[in-house]
Chains A and B, each alone.
Chain A
Amino acid sequence: MNRILVIDDAATVRLYHRKLLGDAGWHTEEASNGVEALERLHAEAGQAPFDLYVVDVNMPKLDGYGFVRELRRLPLVHQAPVVMVSTEAQARDASAALDAGANVYLVKPARPGALVLTAALLLGAREIARTTAQGVQR
């Protein structure tokens, strides 16, 4: 099963994203900031890496940009797709997110369909995309 790591400092948002993604059939885990997420990755080195990261921008300790930059430097996990989610919608944030190496930028609060579809697309599996697309419509 695909594993998704949800990184956000707001517990409510973490729960929201995990529920959206979890209801779509993925296994989700969470971290509350970039540092905690990186610690997770180091601790889990050797195990199957996460298949997707859903990352908030503005977080204490290490923000979303910093996390993605670090992620892209790590062996084995660096290619994982990253969805950056933030309420900052000024153009500079979208471009900063892509600059940092995120694959997609979504505005918070992410609409359920947008997040699930994006995740499905990035996970790149036709079946999952189909079932979740139907799931979203249903």
Chain B
Amino acid sequence: MNTTELLDQFVTEAREGLEAIGERLLEVERNPADAALLNDLFRLVHTLKGNCGLFEFKPLERVVHAGEDLLDRVRQGKLPYGPELADALLDAMDYSAELIDRIEREQRLDTADARADALAKALRALLPDTPALDGSEQTAHAPAAAPPQEPPAWLTRIPANLATNAPAGATALRYLPEPDCFFKGEDPWRLALTAPGLLHAGVAENAPWPQDAAALADWDCYRCNLDIVLVSAAAKAELEQHFRCVPEQVEWHGLAAVPQPAAGEAPPALRERASAIWHEQLALLSRPSVAPHSVEAARRALRGLLCAAPWADSEAAMATLDALPRPLEAAALAAWASVHGPAPRTAAAVPDDSRRTEESTGGERTQRVLKVGQEKVDRLMDLIGEMVVAKNGLPYLAQRAETTFGQRELAREIKAQYGVIHRIAEDMQRAIMEVRMLPVGVVFQRFGRLVRDLSRRLGKEVQLLVEGEDTEADKNVIEALADPLIHILRNSLDHGIEQPAQRLAAGKPAHGTIRITARQEGDRVVIEIADDGAGVNAARVRAKAVERGLVPEDRAAALSDEQAVQLIFLPGFSTADTVSDLSGRGVGMDVVRTAVERVNGQVTLSSRPGLGTSLRLSLPLSMAVSNVMVIESAGRRFGVPMDLIVETVRVHGDDIHHFKQARTTVLRGRIVPLRELNDLLALDAPQRANDDGELAVLVVRLGAENVGLVVDQFHGASDIILKPLEGVLAGMTGFAGTALMGDGGVLMILNPKELL
């Protein structure tokens, strides 16, 4: 059997399980009385432990098992759920995750693990005295702690065919030579290989070999690190004689003899098993009420047993079984079965199936899903991106057909065909994009833990509320979100939320609240992180910014409070020494801004002194294809990212007010400053007005402000794949990048934020 696949499945399911367990643990802390939640949690831990049982992952199993026992008590109401318990369980699950990582890396797990033992012990220490409970409970749990006669783990190192197919009386043994055996003149390998009746010899390292240079420096190459497993057909006495000098270094295990079945005769194991099943059927039939269908199922099972593992008179028995009437009374079949069955099973034949004490449950996380590598989806995404651009070549082709070749009819048909391809390409793009969509909750999941640990460490009481975690966005966007969000949360916890005493003094509840909300607005995902802390102190931000030389003093003084707090996004605003100095936020917020802008997002901050701070991240749903508006200026075409455009208007020359150098116009009652694109790009041409004397103005959003960009002409919107500027052009901050157009031309995409 291919164990790698099973192991992969195990690792995947264990990771999912641990993640869900971590989440539930935090939820339970908030609602300790929620029985359904506790059951759910217990079931998850159960499944994990059950899955461990399929492998030799003893340390992991020990830890999870201890956690399971603990949760069982909690679930039964015998143990209150408190912070220490949660801490111990969270620690245990963290370490379990580490063990899973190790299992994935090394495909195995050492049996000895001090950390696992310590964690399991810590968990068990929280258990109330087991013997104090009622007797049935005790017996139920006792065998689980020490399963009797469990075959040693090293047996798995014997080739499977040998382990089950060894000749009668064969012996497996494990020889662990002493580390300093070489100094006693022993030769362990030779001793092993000269063992009588040797069928198999396998050797492995006892402790892991040193992996890095540091460990290698301490490595003593004269210490024996061998772990030898042998299978021998010789009598045990003979082997004991052979290993007489090192008896304490040898472990023995007798292999069950499984002789080959003689032709035409069922092997004893089969007979035993059949006999056991036969008696189970009898037990089934002897119950007070047995459904008719169960009787029929039992009859079929019995018939199958007769057929598969015949005993003396099975042929005759089968005839009488078939002769029994239908429908059949359970009692009648039971009577028949007790007469025609094999001899009652002896104690030795009883399989040990009824000995272990464990429970099985599982998470409710099975959907019909297809797991695909991300690179495959990315490839699809790239291809559809190229196709979207390539299809844009068709309108140009139609235009050429009409203007250059005078083929009006053909042009019309190309356009019609373009319409169809356009629709399909868009549907396809959307479908592929959906594949990459993940709920933002994926990122939020870890925050519960972060907030809990950090607030406990800071001695603050903080409650985290999350809304809209089902909102979906592209995987890349979501992944890019994680770090900025953690940064923001830390700031909130560290600098935003005050100490409980301070809060009470300010007339606020002792526990602070951080609320994370996610929602979709148009083609963007908006995430807000709001706390009810002290807010950002605008005066101190001003002072700091001036001190750091980021803004001249007069300008800083002229800023409104709302504008002043935005200064914290400036690079270089904060350095390490301000961390504890600044009472508001401001630790590395430029890092947050950079990370968010890298995925074409925006971040804005609003703060009310004493009431709290709110950060708003607005991100595109997807970053693969961007939508730009194509504009024309001085005979050249440029693209402007659609998400920055507020509106396009035509403004008559008379409505433009000149004030010194500045030019403004009034739109919807608001003054909008105007800038000419030709001027900004140093193109030596005046902006052209249309025949009615109107100028084309593109209103773009810059932070909280709108600015009108005067251009010559608007063209339509276009989907493009933005390619960043490379080489010598890379330093040009006024451009966001380039895009290939359908007609083969290159469109420069403006970056109005830098340009203005």
Our pick among A16, A104, A112 for the contact of B280 (Cβ within 8 Å) is A104
B291 within 8 A of A: yes
B167 shortest CB reach to chain A, Å:
12
Residue of B nearest to A123 (CB): B304
Q: Shortest CB–CB separation between residue B341 and chain A, in angstroms?
A: 13
List, in ascending order, chain B residues with CB within 8 A of A138's CB.
161, 165
With an 8 A cutoff between CB atoms, is A32 at the interface? yes
Across the interface, which residues of A come within 8 angstroms of B660, CB to CB? Answer: none
Task: Determine how close the nearest CB of chain A comes to the CB of B15; give it in whole angstroms.
Answer: 12
Residue on B with the closest CB to A102? B284
B354 and A101 form a contact (CB under 8 A): no
B164 in contact with A81 (CB, 8 Å): no
Nearest Cβ in chain A — how far from B6, in angstroms? Answer: 6
Q: Please, which residues of chain B bring their CB within 8 A of the CB of A78?
A: 293, 296-297
CA distance A125 to B310 in the complex (A): 12
> Once bound together, how far apart are the Cα atoms of A2 and B50, in whole Å?
28
Residue A46 at the B interface, CB < 8 A? no
A72 lies within 8 A of B293 (CB): yes
B366 at the A/B interface (Cβ < 8 Å)?
Answer: yes
Q: Which residues of chain B (277-296) have a CB below 8 Å from chain A?
A: 277, 280-281, 283-284, 287, 291, 293-294, 296
Please tell me which one of the listed residues A10, A95, A125 contacts residue B308 in the complex, with CB atoms under 8 A apart: A125
B362 with A103: CB separation less than 8 A: no
Asked if A129 contacts B309 (CB within 8 A), the reply is yes
Which residue of B1, B307, B355, B359 has the most chain A CB atoms within 10 A of its CB atom?
Answer: B359
Q: How far is the CA of A98 from the CA of B46 in the complex (A)?
A: 23
Asked if B354 contacts A11 (CB within 8 A), the reply is: no
* Interface pair A33/B366, CB less than 8 Å apart: yes
Report how far A1 CA is from B364 CA in the complex, Å.
31
Q: Flag if A81 contacts B297 (CB, 8 Å).
A: yes
CB distance from B648 to the nearest CB of A (A): 54
Does the CB pair A137–B354 fall under 8 Å?
no
A-facing residues in B286-333 (Cβ within 8 Å): 287, 291, 293-294, 296-298, 300-301, 303-305, 307-309
Q: Hey, what's the 0/1 contact readout for A91-110 against B, CB within 8 Å counting as 1?
A: 10011001101011111110
CB pairs A–B below 8 angstroms (9 shown) = A19-B5, A33-B364, A87-B358, A88-B357, A88-B360, A95-B283, A125-B304, A126-B307, A137-B164
B-side residues, CB < 8 A to A, are 1-2, 5-6, 9-10, 12-14, 43, 46-47, 50-51, 53-54, 140, 161, 164-165, 258, 260-261, 266-267, 269-270, 273-274, 277, 280-281, 283-284, 287, 291, 293-294, 296-298, 300-301, 303-305, 307-309, 351, 353-364, 366
Other than A56-B362, A73-B293, give 16 A-B pairs with Cβ distance below 8 A.
A9-B363, A10-B13, A12-B14, A12-B54, A78-B293, A79-B297, A79-B300, A87-B46, A88-B359, A90-B140, A98-B280, A103-B298, A117-B269, A133-B261, A133-B266, A137-B165
